């Protein structure tokens, strides 16, 4: 298959979840996704390798949060998400990597999470409602243990990093992934 054969609209629907692609002949795409109160979108470019569809979103992956303040404060590691909407400040997954170990905690209703570990090599965050590639907020050279974060405007967009699709006639399929945690994901051509 070539890029021109893929042009058109492809849709997925299951229960209250719906998603769709519009592929253009110039190698660009538009994407929408809605599930309950969560709406997501993406634009970008695509190409085909054999029967594998590759997407490159305009969104830069791993950049959903900005660290606005960091310090050495108290023990363990604390993440505080600052947002006017408390529903967006809570349920942010914080993942601490320490050696071969891993610990995780979600922010509470006040947007705060505390990981009670003496050392954390790397600290990542990911929003539960808008999951995408994890955002690194602390690397092994950073000695701070308190981090205040804000949400970036690209949070609702999808990067598609690491997600490949398979083309089969008028169907596009993909495996369960970080934002569609389902089996048997099939987009059908309209």
CB 187 within 8 A of CB 173: yes
Does residue 186 surpass a pLDDT of 60?
Answer: yes
pLDDT per residue as tens digits for the range 5-48: 899 999 999 989 999 999 999 999 999 999 988 999 999 999 99
pTM for the structure as a whole: 0.91
Which fold would CATH assign to domain 65-151? Immunoglobulin-like (2.60.40)
- On whether the 3-59+157-189 domain is CATH 2.60.40.10, my answer is no
């Amino acid at each position: 298959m070539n890029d021109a054969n893929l042009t058109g609209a492809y849709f997925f629907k299951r229960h209250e979840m719906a998603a769709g692609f519009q592929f253009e002949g110039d190698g660009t795409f538009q994407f929408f996704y809605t599930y309950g109160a969560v709406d997501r979108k993406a634009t970008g470019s695509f190409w085909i390798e054999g029967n594998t569809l590759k997407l490159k979103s305009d969104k830069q992956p791993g950049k959903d949060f900005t660290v606005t303040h960091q310090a050495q404060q108290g023990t363990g590691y604390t993440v505080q998400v600052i947002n006017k909407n408390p529903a967006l400040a809570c349920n942010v997954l914080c993942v601490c990597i320490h050696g071969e170990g891993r610990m995780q905690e979600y922010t509470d209703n006040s947007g705060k999470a505390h990981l009670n570990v003496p050392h954390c090599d790397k600290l990542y965050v990911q929003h539960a409602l808008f999951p995408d590639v994890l955002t690194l907020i602390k690397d092994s050279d950073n000695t701070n243990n308190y981090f205040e974060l804000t949400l970036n405007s690209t949070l609702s967009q999808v990067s598609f990093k690491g997600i490949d699709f398979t083309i089969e006639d008028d169907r596009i399929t993909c495996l369960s992934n970080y934002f569609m945690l389902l089996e048997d994901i099939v987009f059908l051509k309209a």
